[in-house]
Amino acid sequence: MKVLVPVKRVIDYNVQVRVKSDQSGVELTNVKMAMNPFCEIAVEQAIRMKEAGQAEEIIVVSAGPQKAQETLRTALAMGADRGVHIESDTDLEPLAVAKLLQKVVEKEGAGIVVMGKQAIDGDNNQTGQMLSALLGWSQGTFISAIELNGDTVKVTREVDGGLEKVELRMPAVVTVDLRLNEPRYASLPNIMKAKKKPIDVMSIEELGVDVSPRVQVIKVEEPEKRKAGEIVGSVAELVDKLKNEAKVI
C-alpha cells in the first residue's frame, strides 16, 4: 500500500509573526521557514506504518514555490521514499490544494492519505475534509491513535466531549492531531541520503486544476495586546468587581 502525506512549508512556530506595513498579509522575507508541525506528525506516522510492514512506499507532496522542496527534503530525511512538488508561486486556498492532491492521489494509486489536521499559518482545517469528499473516501479527523487492520482502519478522534473511536473502510483520509506521536529527528546519514531521493515536479496546468481564488483578504491586523491584570485586596472586592465592573455574576 502506498501512503501519501501532504506537507506544507510555513513560518517556523518559534518565530514571532509580523504583519506587513500595508496590512496585506504577514512578513515572509528573511523569515525562518519550516515544515508545519502537524505535517511532521503525519510523516512520522507514515514511517511507523512502513516500519510495521503496513505500507510499501511513502510519498510526500507539497504545493508551493521552489523552496517547498526544502520541506520535502526534510520529510525524505525523516524516512519518506520520494517527493512530489506541485509548483505554485501564488497562495493556494484549501479547496485548490484538495483538488491538486486529488489528482496526485489518483495518479499515484495511494491507499491512504495521512495529513496534518491544519496548517499553523492559515489555521483553516479544511483540506483533509475536502479531499475526502472529492475522492469519495472515508475520513477520520483530529486523530490521536490509529490502527490499520486489513480493509479497515480504527482511529481515535479528539472531539469536544472527549475521545471518539471510529472504524473506517479503506481507502481513507486521516488528519492527525498533536498527541498521535513524537516526530523523530533526521540523522545526518539520512539527511545525506535524502539529497539523492527523487522529487517529481509537476505544474498546476499539467494537473488541470482551476486554482482561482474564491476568497479575498481585505486586511490583516495584529490582535489587541492583552491588558494587565489587577490585584484585589479581598474576596469581597473581587466579587464586587465581577458583579459591577465585569458584570459576569
- Asked whether 163 and 154 are in contact (CB, 8 A), the reply is no
pLDDT tens profile 28-42: 888 999 999 999 999
Q: Is residue 249 in a domain?
A: no
pLDDT tens profile 34-93: 999 999 999 999 999 999 999 999 999 999 999 999 999 999 999 999 999 999 988 899
- Asked whether 164 and 156 are in contact (CB, 8 A), the reply is yes
- Asked whether 65 and 97 are in contact (CB, 8 A), the reply is no
pTM listed for this prediction: 0.87
**3-class secondary structure, 140:** strand
pLDDT tens profile 135-161: 999 999 999 999 999 899 999 999 988
- Asked whether 94 and 102 are in contact (CB, 8 A), the reply is no
* CATH code of the domain containing 201: 3.40.50.620
Q: Which residue range is the domain that position 64 belongs to? A: 2-244
Tally of structural domains, the chain: 1
CA 46 to chain centre: 14
